[in-house]
Amino acid sequence: MAELIDGKKISTEIKDEVKAKVAALKEEGVEITLAVIQVGADPASSVYVRNKKNACAYTGINSLSYELPEETTEEELLALIDKLNADEKVNGILVQLPVPKHINEDSIIKRISPDKDVDGFHPESVGRLSIGERGFVSCTPAGVIQLLKRSDVKIEGAECVVIGRSNIVGKPMAMLLIRENGTVTVCHSRTKDLREVTKRADILVVAIGKPKMIDASYIKEGATVIDVGIHRNEDNKLCGDVDFESASAVAGKITPVPGGVGPMTIAMLMNNCLEAGLMQNGR
């Protein structure tokens, strides 16, 4: 039976580290502030926004909340971002995605100053990651790296397979694993024989968006399996892209859903806010 990788515990460790650093900065008169913008009242987005604000309160980061009506125009949202970009008291800006359909997501992502891009979605942040420069990294894949490191999973030299090539998970995940000296293969919907590839993996990161698709037959004995997926099943219970019961009989280490990657995303957002404060204060 696979060993559980405890994302709840590891995310609390990270938030506590951020909290200590934020408190030390406060002693020197430096405060850190995150502006969170939500357009519309999508219930799932409201939960994410609330969790982010709670994490700010926990770590001592100030949070400014902008809850805009569904009918907000793209121009109005861009104007608010411009205002926050210019505000020296604001270190990080986050627009909760998805935004309503009449607003172009790309324009919003690109308008946030790269210096305040705590989600790590701006093309400049993505470029910095790919050439190995200091900058903001997308929170979910950054969280996966911390889960691996803090569970003593060796990335260097390991065969790493990522299923999924999205801009916010799959691609940055691959870049980060390369940075950690893993040998990386990325699979997607056009991959010919998925099982044949995933069975080679020492570390398998699954970000497909298909409930319980990956069972034991895709996994090498003893491999580490990281499940990024998050879904609600017929009984309204959370599950991942991995069939946990089947996979945990073969894997060496595995993340559960809930309690695996999910809590890490917010912990890494707090870390990015800290990083924003440090960079903007020349440290």
In the complex, minimum distance from the CB of residue 30 to ligand NDP, in angstroms, rounded to a whole number: 29
* Closest approach of ligand NDP to the CB of residue 149, in Å: 18
Catalytic pick from 96, 171, 212, 243?
Answer: 96
CB nearest ligand NDP: which residue? 166
Residue nearer to ligand NDP on the CB measure, 119 or 202: 119
Judge whether 8 counts as a catalytic residue. no
Does 42 participate in catalysis according to the annotation? no
Cα-Cα-Cα-Cα dihedral sign, residues 193, 174, 4, 244: negative
Q: Identify which of residues 85 and 191 has a Cβ nearer to ligand NDP in the complex.
A: 191
Nearer to ligand NDP, 170 or 277 (CB): 170
Question: Catalytic: which of 6, 21, 38, 52?
Answer: 52
Rounded to a whole number of angstroms, the distance between the first and last alpha carbons of the chain is: 45
Name the minimum Å distance from CB 157 to ligand NDP. Answer: 25
Residues of the shown chain interacting with ligand NDP in the complex, contacts defined by CB under 6 A: 140, 163-166, 168-170, 187-191, 194, 207-210, 228-230, 241, 261-262, 265
* Least distance (Å) between residue 96 CB and ligand NDP: 12
CB 209 → ligand NDP: shortest distance, Å? 4
Q: For ligand NDP, give the closer residue by CB, 109 or 168.
A: 168
The answer to whether 146 is a known catalytic residue is: no
The catalytic site residues sit at 52, 96, 119
